Chain A
Amino acid sequence: EADIYQTPRYLVIGTGKKITLECSQTMGHDKMYWYQQDPGMELHLIHYSYGVNSTEKGDLSSESTVSRIRTEHFPLTLESARPSHTSQYLCASSELGGGSYNEQFFGPGTRLTVL
């Protein structure tokens, strides 16, 4: 079954720790995205990728970094976590262009709490 996975689902960590949020999709999609969402608020795009070795910053400035070494894998890393990074992080993927609407498929999210 084609799907998009995120691990961990919940993470509580102390200030200054390095963390990596994992995202994998089995749909063969070229485009992948990371969004940040605070409780009850809209989603803000923080990173996206058009394919392997392609990464771009989104509309919301973020101290996190991403990599795209394999089509199916798009991890997000925070070198030194701070309380201001506390949020929900959602990963998504979609097909590349084509003229029709390209649905974004979202993972279940990682809820990060930095103490």
Chain B
Amino acid sequence: QQQVKQSPQSLIVQKGGISIINCAYENTAFDYFPWYQQFPGKGPALLIAIRPDVSEKKEGRFTISFNKSAKQFSLHIMDSQPGDSATYFCADQGGKLIFGQGTELSVKP
């Protein structure tokens, strides 16, 4: 079964700093790579997704960088805010959505 390996497991960042979460995927060629954000007591919600033929996608303060040769992709949160404190899941969307292990982000004021 395909896996997505996510790191770090937890991350503490000061307000205004940059949060970086990394993911590595296995042998897929045509998948999308989304990031989901989950607040306590809520279901996950799509944050941003990238196609495999694009190296970077930016939406506001959130950027996905995709390195196809290394089979890695990462989420960068610029100017991190306390409201960004949540658990972030990367995923591999092929036939099914395979989630990474999650990163608990805490942004300190």
Contact = CB atoms under 8 A, between A and B. Distances in A.
16 contacts: A40-B102, A40-B104, A43-B89, A43-B99, A44-B99, A45-B96, A48-B96, A58-B96, A59-B1, A101-B34, A101-B51, A103-B46, A108-B41, A108-B43, A109-B41, A109-B43
Interface in B21-49: 32, 34, 41-46, 49
Contacts, number: 48
A107 B102 contact: no
A74 interface: no
A105 to B, nearest CB: 8
- Bin chain A's interface residue count: 20 to 34
A57 B39 CA distance: 27
Q: Specify the main secondary structure of chain B where it touches its partner.
A: strand
A41 B89 CA distance: 10
Contacts of A106: 43-45
A2 to B, nearest CB: 14
Contacts of B104: 40
A94 B3 CA distance: 22
Interface string B47-90: 00101000000000000000000000000000000000001010
Given A43-B89, A101-B93, A92 B100 contact: no
Interface of A: 4, 33, 40-45, 48, 58-59, 90, 92, 101-109
Contacts of B41: 108-109
B101 interface: yes
B97 interface: yes
Contacts of A58: 96
A105 B34 CA distance: 13
Q: Nearest 8 pairs between A and B by C-beta? A: A106-B43, A101-B32, A42-B99, A103-B46, A43-B99, A101-B49, A42-B101, A106-B44
Contacts of A102: 93
A109 B32 CA distance: 25
A41 B44 CA distance: 12
B96 A43 contact: no
